A and B are shown apart, each in its own frame.
Chain A
């Protein structure tokens, strides 16, 4: 039995990986919100906002849903949905920019 000293104490105080992912997701959300509040629009903004959505979706599906530890087929299915849907939506929005 080892007490809460040395290496184990350092481990106990380390940020949990899922807590780090949660904070990153909140930061990415704040970025998307900030872009909206700034009233920014256009090709680059649509690309950025939808790119952030894919990144957030990847983090939620991989780390929160646990897909990163599953076989390739499941990861490809989710990534295919994310990139397929968001990519199509982004392409439709980008080609409609005035």
Chain B
């Protein structure tokens, strides 16, 4: 009840938006990515020259474009949540479809990058930098795919009238997961593509 009253007064809540369980999952995921990032930095510290040289072969344009794409898709998801809070399920579904489309753009850009690397003979065993680059970005890539599936399920349910201005926890839950995917890339991009 307190949550409901707080929600009506500007959506201020004690707990984060969406199902509480997703937040345990989100923090568990963030912990895993955090360990991955620190392991990357430790490995880089042992061979800065190798990491700096290998990084030159990455497409910073692709990495930057993907950052803008994910940030924009996150913004679309914010608009989807705002729409369902007003009870506008059709618009909510539309914003979510926009976010999924941008997710698809991310996937295409990333696959193009992966293809270019594999075509150049780069594999996990090429060197330590590429081992981290391929595994870290592929791990994140799988989260993008997972996020797109979740958003698609939410969009479909919204389109069928499964959410309303009184019941939209599912939309917030999917949105929170998608923002986490964006948040991780926001750290990954400068670390892997820019810092040298």
What is A's interface to B at a CB cutoff of 8 Å?
Answer: 18-19, 21-22, 25-26, 29-30, 32-33, 35-37, 41, 45-46, 49-50, 52-53, 56-57, 60-61, 63-67, 69-71, 74, 77, 81, 84-86, 88-89, 92-93, 95-98
Contact flag A71-B14 (CB < 8 Å), given A57-B186, A96-B45: yes
Residues of B with C-beta under 8 A to A52: 190
Q: Identify B71's interface contact among A25, A46, A70, CB under 8 A.
A: A25
Contact flag A89-B41 (CB < 8 Å), given A57-B187, A64-B74: yes
Check B149 for interface membership: any CB of A closer than 8 A: no
Would you call B74 and A88 a contact (CB within 8 A)? no
Q: Identify B48's interface contact among A21, A77, A96, CB under 8 A.
A: A96
Contact flag A70-B16 (CB < 8 Å), given A33-B60, A60-B179, A92-B42: yes
Kindly identify, within residues 68 to 92 of chain B, every residue whose CB is under 8 Å from any CB belonging to chain A.
68, 71-72, 74-75, 77-79, 82
Known: A29-B68, A81-B30. 18 other contacts (CB 8 A): A18-B79, A18-B82, A21-B75, A22-B71, A29-B64, A29-B67, A32-B190, A45-B195, A50-B191, A52-B190, A60-B186, A66-B17, A69-B13, A70-B14, A71-B15, A88-B38, A92-B41, A98-B49
- In the bound complex, how far is the Cα of B183 from the Cα of A45, in angstroms? 21
- In the bound complex, how far is the Cα of B44 from the Cα of A46, in angstroms? 14
Residues of B with C-beta under 8 A to A92: 38, 41-42, 44-45
Residues of B with C-beta under 8 A to A65: 16-17, 175-176, 179-180, 183
Contact flag A85-B71 (CB < 8 Å), given A18-B78, A36-B60, A66-B17: no
Would you call A86 and B187 a contact (CB within 8 A)? yes
Residues of B with C-beta under 8 A to A84: 34
* Nearest-Cβ distance from residue A36 to partner chain B, whole angstroms: 4
- In the bound complex, how far is the Cα of B116 from the Cα of A52, in angstroms? 29
Kindly identify, within residues 142 to 196 of chain B, every residue whose CB is under 8 Å from any CB belonging to chain A.
172, 175-176, 179-180, 182-183, 186-187, 189-191, 193-196
